[in-house]
Amino acid sequence: MRTLEVDQLDEEIRDYQHRLDVDIMSYKEMESLREKILNQRRRMSELEDEALALMDRVEVERGETAAAEAAFVERKAELDQGLQEIEERTEAVRDEIEANAAAREAASGEIPGHLLRRYEELRRAHRDPVAEVRGGSCSGCNLRLSGSTVERVRGGQEIVSCEHCSRLLYVA
């Protein structure tokens, strides 16, 4: 737009100059035209400076845009990579869940029915239905077990429950 304005001014100046050269006019009219030409030239010069400044800014912003684009491409690659890793991990965990479910199914077939039912009931109440006896306490509820309970667990002859939370107990 600035360049168009400059072209237009240039045309006007030529026109004034032509009239100055060709037309017959009074001194006053001549002075007025010369004044106009001077003003137009000044305006033209300003517009040319503005156009140059704008072109400089376009160059700078073009550079900034290119840098931002490069950063975007790099970041997108990182995110795509991360996404792929998550998908792979999800797939691996899914496989693990399937394998564990199959192993659980196979193991539960070997456990007497009444014990399995007790276990399932406990599992509804606790995330960890089986607890270790640690320092004479149940590691599930952290309460102290009686000496005889600990002895029975140590004996390993029967399935023993915590007298406080009913979790199934074992010793490491």
| Contacting residues toward Zn ion, per CB under 5 A | 138, 140-141, 162, 164-165, 167
With beta carbons less than 8 A apart as the criterion, state whether 153 and 136 touch: no
Which long-range contacts does 15-21 make (Cβ < 8 Å, 24+ apart)?
Answer: 16/40
Least gap, CB of 132 to Zn ion (angstroms): 11
**Which CB atom, from 23 or from 128, has the smaller least distance to Zn ion?**
128
Closer Cβ to Zn ion, 20 or 165, answer by number: 165
DSSP element (H, E) containing 169: strand 168-170
Q: Shortest approach of Zn ion to residue 168 CB, angstroms?
A: 10
The rounded distance, in Å, linking the Cα atoms of 96 and 111 is: 23
**In the complex, minimum distance from the CB of residue 154 to Zn ion, in angstroms, rounded to a whole number:** 16
Q: Closer CB to Zn ion, residue 9 or residue 140? A: 140
CB 114, CB 104: distance < 8 Å: no
Shortest CB 120 distance to Zn ion, Å:
18
Smallest separation (angstroms) from Zn ion to the CB of 116: 20
The one-character DSSP state at 141 is T
Strand ordering across the sheet containing 168-170: 137-138, 130-134, 168-170
- Looking only at the bridges linking them, the beta strands covering 137-138 and 168-170 are unpaired
Q: Which is nearer to Zn ion, 150 or 162 (CB)?
A: 162
Beta carbon nearer to Zn ion, 129 or 140: 140
CB-based contact 39:13 (threshold 8 Å): no
Q: φ, ψ for residue 104 (rounded to 5)?
A: -65, -45
